[in-house]
Structure 1
Amino acid sequence: MARLPLTLLMAAFAIWLAWFVSLRQAILFVVGIGMGGVLAGARFGFTTGWRRLIEERDASGVMAQLLLLAVAAACSIPLLAMFPGDLAAALGPPSISLLIGAFVFGASMQIADGCGSGTLYKAGLGIPLNMGILPVFALGSFLGSAHLDKWLALGAIQPVGLVDLYGPTVALALTALGLVLIAFVVRRWSGSTARWYDRKLFIGAVLLAVLAVLNLLIAGQPWGVVYGFGLWFAKIATATGMFDPAQNAFWSQPGNFNALSQTVFLDVTSITNIGIMAGALWISVRKKPAAEPLSNRQWLIGIVAGFLLGYSSRLAFGCNVGAMVSGISTGSLHGWIWVVMAFGGSLIGVRLRRRYGF
């Protein structure tokens, strides 16, 4: 499809959303388009950035991610303090499920070559593996949410929000200190002569941070990805009679139960997910990446990894976006725990990826 007809189609959908759903959802769709365009245009991959640091000692991707976190936190934490009743932080409970889920997610994303946002924008670019992974990611996310209460029963504490605990000034200072420490460790580990700056990635980081803050202001909640995936499959399972949400601890919660009865276009996570794929598709018209053909064995391993991505991300209360970007930038302790465990998983995932020839 040429870019002009695609642009007109996206504009028509935004107008339809504004007229028949809500103006907020139309604006969020446009924000999602921006996210997808930046992710695809800058090839801003959370997964790739970690892998390049591990394999090549190239710190540029991770440094760009730290810049994204710093800018987003500098805006989001004061906003949360100013509007406590209108804006919510991305809080998740420190738990056994978080530790296991983040570790498995970190390993799986390296094999599948994409996290939540990476799977979305690469599917939008038309990369076959990520297109195949998307539906099993949704299935895994749904099953993870349906089993979440059993995982939390293994051990969990209440979510810890730095803004509520210490106030915005201390919360922001602690967040900045944590990011500086990570940057120092990354530079020491990669070596003083290693590459640490990429202009395109740094510009992408700032743009993504701005879009993430806009998402927080417009939606009233931080940027997320995996909830939308789980909701899509939960709707299918409920509509076909395979699942009774009233009997499930997660989906019987009022907000989640209502989401199942409403149009998917009212869900803020779903509408930005759709926007991300649309933005990536718009980029792919002129910049379609080449994809290496995969063997049947690689396809099978990739699909299994995609399922684990969905399942583990629900146990870990988010992916690189929902747990890391949104968690850390809004002062959630679980975001920091997620990073440590997911990076540990990535150390193994990179080796498995190499072993199976991806």
Structure 2
Amino acid sequence: MKRLPLSILMAAFFGWLLWSVSLRQAALFLVGIGLGAILAGQRFGFTTGWRMLVEDKDPRGVFGQLLLLALAAAMAMPLLGHYPELTAALGPPSISLLVGAFVFGLCMQIADGCGSGTLYKAGMGIPMNTAILPMFAIGSFLGSLHLGWWLDLGRMPAVGLVSTWGWLPALLATLAALAVIGFAVKAYCAKANGAQQRSMPGLWQRKWVMGAIGLAIFATLNLVIAGQPWGVVYGFGLWAAKVANGTGMVDLAGNWFWSQPGNAQRLQETVLLDITSITNIGILAGALWIAAGKPAAAKALTGTQWLVALVAGLVLGYSSRLAFGCNVGAMLSGISTGSIHGWIWVPLAFVGTIYGLRIRRHFGF
């Protein structure tokens, strides 16, 4: 589809949301379009940035993510400090988090995308990610069915730095930690490239910098408009849950996760009233707009590669629910709003990425 008719359809859907649903949901649809356009236009991939660091000793993708985290925290933490009605992306440190983060980091490299990566690449029409998206949703739903059992294995109360220390100390501590990581990444890449007798790539690349600035702005708009940080995974699980509940495949009334008042209410409402879902729809639309009229770049996969990718997508969704989010919900929104669980998520997911890259190479992706 060309951009003009697509733009007309998107504008019509925005107008319908504004008239029939709510101003907030219409605004969040626009936020989603902005997020999708930036993700697709700059090809800002969290998965890709980590892979560049591990395989190519190229720090530019990770430095773009560090910049994003710093900017998002600088905007979100003062807002959280001054407006208590806004909520942080808190998750409890738990066995569930430890297992989920590691498995997620492993599977996202095989599936070539985290939550946001799968979403925007599906919007661009890339076949593998388009096929993985429903598997991700099913996996996220299955994870929600078992989350209560996982949390019973051991958990601690969620900790928010902003509410515990105040927004300014929390922000300074976050920026200091990000700076330490930046210095460590730079030193690692310099040493690794020196050992291979090649020059190290620069620390900054325009697409990563522009992507970081754009995503930080739209993530902050999401926080202000929705009252909660940007998330991706919940919407996927909700879509699958509504199908399962509507068809009578599963009785969710007694499930620990879906019997909670907020989740039970969303099961009964239209998906267009869900904050995460409407933003996800916007991301798909924004990525589709960027890719409009262009053939999707796709690598031909063997039958084995397709099977491995689809299984990875299913497990990716399952582990994302256990880990209380993906690179967006756990890492970006968690760290930028002061949640300790975001800082726990990152190293475990990164170790998982190292093993995931080995599996990826083994199957020739």
- TM class by shorter chain equals over 0.9
Q: 2:327 matched to 1:328?
A: no
Quote the residue 1:114 is aligned against: 113
Aligned position for 1:194: 200
Give RMSD over aligned pairs: 0.8
- Aligned counterpart, 2:275: 268
Instruction: State the distance in 2 between where 1:238 and 1:227 align.
Output: 16
Output one character per residue of 1:74-117: Cα deviation in whole Å (capped at 9) or x when no partner.
01001001011x20000000001101000000000000000000
Q: Deviations over 1:17-51 (max 9, x none)?
A: 00000011011001100000000000000000000
Residues 286/206 of structure 1: CA separation in 2 closer, same or farther (3 Å cut): farther
**Residue in structure 1 matched with residue 173 of structure 2 by the alignment:** 174
Match of 1:71 in 2: 71
Give the letter for the 2:47 counterpart.
T
TM-score of the superposed pair, with normalisation by structure 1: 0.99
Look up the SS of the partner of 1:191 in the other structure. helix
Deviation of the 1:289 alpha carbon: 4.0
Residue 87 of structure 2 corresponds to which residue in structure 1? 88
1:296 and 2:303 aligned:
yes
* 1:298-337 superposed Cα distances (whole Å, 9 cap, x missing partner): 0000000000110000000000000000000000000010
Shift in Å, 1:287:
4.6
Equivalents in 2 of 1:160, 1:27: separation in Å?
30
- What is the rounded CA distance, in whole Å, between the counterparts of 2:238 and 2:149 in structure 1? 19
User: 1:288 deviation in Å?
Assistant: 4.1
2:211 to 204, 210, 216: 204
Q: Hey, what's the Cα distance between the residues in 1 that align with 2:27 and 2:125?
A: 25
SS in 2 for 1:221: coil
CA shift for structure 1 position 286: 4.7
Aligned counterpart, 1:239:
246
User: 2:291 — aligned with what?
Assistant: 284
Q: How many residues are aligned here?
A: 357
Distance apart, 1:155 and its partner CA? 0.6
Matched with 1:23 is: 23
| 2:150 maps to amino acid | W
Aligned partners of 2:289 and 2:326: how far apart in 1?
24
Report matched runs for 1:43-58 at 5 Å: 43-58=43-58
CA-to-partner distance for each residue in 1:243-285, whole Å, 9 max, x for gaps? 2221001000000000000000000100000000100000111
Could you say which residue in structure 1 is the equivalent of 2:196? none
* One-letter amino acid matched to 1:341: L
> In the alignment, which residue of structure 1 is the partner of 2:320?
313
- Report the secondary structure of 2:69's partner residue: helix
> How many percent of aligned residue pairs carry the same amino acid?
65
Rounded Cα–Cα distance in structure 2 between residues aligned with 1:201 and 1:164 = 31
Distance in 2 between the 1:332 and 1:199 partners?
A: 29
- Aligned equivalents of 1:182, 1:99: Cα separation in 2: 20
Q: In the alignment, residue 109 of structure 1 is paired with which amino acid?
A: M
TM-score by length of 2: 0.97
1:35 corresponds to: 35
